[in-house]
Structure 1
Amino acid sequence: MPIDVLSANLASPALGFFALGVIATRMKSDLSFPEQAAKALSIYLLIAIGFKGGVKLRAEGFTSELMLGVTAGLFLAITLPLIAYAILRWFTPVSTIDAAAVAAHYGSVSVVTFVAATAFLSAMGESSEGFMITLLAIMEVPAILIGIYLARRGGASTGNHRFIDSLTHGPVILLIGAAAVGCATGEAGMAQLEGFLVTPFLGVLALFLLDMGIVAARRIGELKKAGLRLLAFGMIMPLIGGSLGVLTGTAIGLTVGGVTLLGVLAASASYVAAPAAIREAVPDANPALSLGLALGVTFPFNLIVGIPLIYTAAQLLA
C-alpha cells in the first residue's frame, strides 16, 4: 500500500473523530451521543449518499454497465455469506447457528463503510459510477436470507422474519427513496440541495463516526471470550471479500472508484439491517458475536486499513 494513500486516510478528520470516540470510551469517559441525534445524523448521511447517487445515475442513464453491476452485486451477495459460513465452521469453534448468523452479517453490507469510502475517494480526486448506490441497496438483502436458511437448516428455531421485512427496513427505504428522488430531479434538484447535502457532508460524517467510535469500543469488550480465531476471522474475511470485490469490479470494467466501492461493499459487514433481521428470524443466535465482530473488529479495520488497501489494489488492476 503506497504510504501517501495510507497517510491521506489517517489524516482524515472523520477518522480522527472515530479514534476520539474509541479512546474516550476505553478511558472510561462518560462521553456519549444522544440516541436521537445519532439517528438524525444517520438519516442525513443515507439521504445525502442516496440522492447524489440518484443524480449520477440519471446523468449516466440505464446502460448495460448498470446490468453488469447489478449482476456482480448479486453474485457477491450470494457468494460471500457461503464463504464466510464455510470459514467459520472450519476455522472457528462457533456453533452452526452462530456461524450462519455471522455469515449473514458478513455477506450483507455496511452503509457507513460505503459512505466513508465515498469520502475517501473524494479526497483522492476519484469519481465512481452512479449506480453504485443501487448495488449497495441490492446487496443488503440476499445474504440475510441465506444466513436465515443456513441457521434453520442447522436446527435454529423459527422466528418472525419475512422477506418483505428486509426490503422495507428503514435504511434500505431511505437509500432507494433518496436515489429515486435524485434520479427524478437530476442536476436541477442537486443545485437546490447542494448547500445542504454536499457542503456539510464531511462534518456530519465526522460527528457520526465519533458516535460509531464510542459504540465500537463498547462492542470490543463483548469479544473477550470469543477466542483469537474468531477475532482473526473479523480481519481475514474483509480481505477475502475485498479481493473478490476488486477482481469482480475489474472484470466488468468499472472505473477505479467503482472498483474501490464494490471492493469496500464486499469487504464490509452489516451492523444495522442484518442484526435487526437475524434477531427476529434466528432468536437462538448470539448477537454479541455478530455485532461484536462486525462493529468492534471489521468496521475499524476497514476504516483504517481496508479502504486504502482496496483502493490501491483497484489502481494496480485498472
Structure 2
Amino acid sequence: MGDILSLAATNLISPIILSFVLGVVAALARSDLTIPEAVAKGMSIYLLFAIGFKGGAGVAAHGVDATLVATLVAGLALSFALPFIAFYLLRVLTPLGLVERAAVAAHYGSISIVTFVAATQAVRSIGLEPEGFMVAVAAVMETPAILVALFLARSAAKQRYKDDPDASEGLLQEVFLNSSVVVLMGAFVIGAVTGAEGMAAIEGFIVVPFTGVLCLFLLDMGAVAGRGMAQARKVLDAPLVGFGLLMPFVGATMAIPFALVAGLSAGGTALLLTLAASASYIAVPAAMRLALPEARPSIYLSLSLGVTFPMNLTIGIPAYAAVAQLVAGG
C-alpha cells in the first residue's frame, strides 16, 4: 500500500497530470480556455508519430523473439475478451439496453493511447524501462473490441447494414484506416526499418519536446473532459460511474497472468495492465457512430473520457505500476 501511495503522490504532482487537472478546473469554472482543433489534432499526430517511431526503433534494437510474439497474442486475446466481461458487468450493474451495453463494452475492450503515453512516462520516472515493442501491442488492441461489439449487437448492426449498404464499407475504413492506427503503425514501421540511425537523426524532434507537447495535449483533454462532466450529470448515474471505476481494475487484473506468461519486465507488465485498464475515446467512438448510431455518445464518451480516463491518470497508473513491480520484480 505504501508503494502505491508513493507512486500516486509522485504521479499526481507531475507536470503531465497537473496540466490535465488545470484543463478540468478551467472547464468546470466555465473558462473560455480552448486549444484550436487544428492545433490539438497536430499535437495528437505528433505524439502518435513519436510513440510509434520510438517503438519501432525499440523493436529493431530488441529483435523479434518469443516475448514479442507472446505479448502480441496476449494483447489480442485481452482485446477480444474484455468486451464480453464489460458487457456482462453492464447488464448486472446498469439498466442500459443491449445496443448501448455493446457500445460501451467496445470502449473498454479497446485502448486509450494517451493513457498509454502517460503510463510510459510514469513508469520510466520510477526507473522501470518497458519493452519497446509495447507500442505494437497497443496498436493491435485498438480494433478487435469493435468487432466484438458488433457481434454482441449483431441484430442492430445487421439491420443498419441492410438499410444502408455503404455503412459496412465506412465502418471497415473507420476501424482499420483511422488516422491514429495509420500514424502509429506507419511510424512504427519507419522506426523499425531505420533503427538506431533513424532515431539519432530525429531524436531532437521526437524525444526532447515530447513531454512538453504531452502537457499541452492533456491540458486540452482536461478541458474536454471537464466540459463532458458538466454536461453528463443527468446521464451518468451511480451504477454507470461505478462501472467506469471498477472495469479498469477488472481489465488490469485479467492482464496479470498474460504478462507473466509472456515474460514481460516490470515496465512492460505495467503497460500491459494499463492498456487492459484503459478505455478508448477516439477510435471507438468514431466507429460506434457508424456501426451503432442509436447508442448515445453522452453515455459512452462521458464514461471513458470523464470517469475512467482521469481515474487512470491519477490512481490507476500508479497502482498498475506497483502491482507490476510486485508480480514481475523491478
TM-score range, shorter chain: over 0.9
What whole-Å deviation, never above 9, does each CA across 1:13-57 have from its counterpart, x for those lacking one?
A: 011110000011111111111101100110110000000000000
Give the Cα–Cα distance (whole angstroms) in 2 for the partners of residues 136 and 316 of structure 1.
Answer: 23
Structure-2 residue corresponding to 1:306:
316
Give the deviation of 1:61 after TM superposition: 0.9
| Contact 1:148/1:278 (8 A) holds in 2 | no
Give the deviation of 1:183 after TM superposition: 0.4
- Unaligned segments of structure 2, at least 5 residues: 162-166
| Contact 1:156/1:282 (8 A) holds in 2 | no
Is structure 2 residue 181 aligned with structure 1 residue 179? no
Percent sequence identity over aligned pairs:
47
Give the Cα–Cα distance (whole angstroms) in 1 for the partners of residues 35 and 244 of structure 2.
Answer: 26
Give the Cα–Cα distance (whole angstroms) in 2 for the partners of residues 222 and 239 of structure 1.
Answer: 26
Which of 118, 122, 142 lines up with 2:124 in the alignment? 122
**SS at the partner of 1:65?**
helix
Give the Cα–Cα distance (whole angstroms) in 2 for the partners of residues 128 and 186 of structure 1.
Answer: 18
Structure-1 residue corresponding to 2:164:
none
Which of 247, 250, 253 lines up with 2:260 in the alignment? 250
Give the Cα–Cα distance (whole angstroms) in 2 for the partners of residues 221 and 7 of structure 1.
Answer: 27
Give the Cα–Cα distance (whole angstroms) in 2 for the partners of residues 126 and 22 of structure 1.
Answer: 29
Is structure 2 residue 228 aligned with structure 1 residue 219? yes
Structure-2 residue corresponding to 1:192:
201
- Unaligned segments of structure 1, at least 5 residues: none
Give the Cα–Cα distance (whole angstroms) in 2 for the partners of residues 203 and 300 of structure 1.
Answer: 19
Structure-2 residue corresponding to 1:276:
286
**SS at the partner of 1:93?**
coil
Structure-1 residue corresponding to 2:9:
7
Give the Cα–Cα distance (whole angstroms) in 1 for the partners of residues 106 and 155 of structure 2.
Answer: 14
Counterpart of 1:189, as a letter, is: G
Structure-2 residue corresponding to 1:317:
327
| Contact 2:24/2:223 (8 A) holds in 1 | yes
Taking only aligned residues, the RMSD between alpha carbons, in angstroms, comes to 1.3
Structure-2 residue corresponding to 1:85:
87
What whole-Å deviation, never above 9, does each CA across 1:218-239 have from its counterpart, x for those lacking one?
A: 1113432231000110000001
| Contact 2:150/2:157 (8 A) holds in 1 | no
Give the Cα–Cα distance (whole angstroms) in 2 for the partners of residues 155 and 224 of structure 1.
Answer: 29
Is structure 2 residue 167 aligned with structure 1 residue 165? no
What whole-Å deviation, never above 9, does each CA across 1:215-265 have from its counterpart, x for those lacking one?
A: 001111343223100011000000101111233212321000110100000
**SS at the partner of 2:153?**
helix
TM-score, normalised via structure 2 length: 0.94
Give the Cα–Cα distance (whole angstroms) in 2 for the partners of residues 134 and 286 of structure 1.
Answer: 31
Is structure 2 residue 216 aligned with structure 1 residue 210? no
Deviates most, 13-22 or 62-71: 62-71
Task: State the 4+ residue runs in structure 1 displaced beyond 2 angstroms.
Answer: 152-157, 161-165
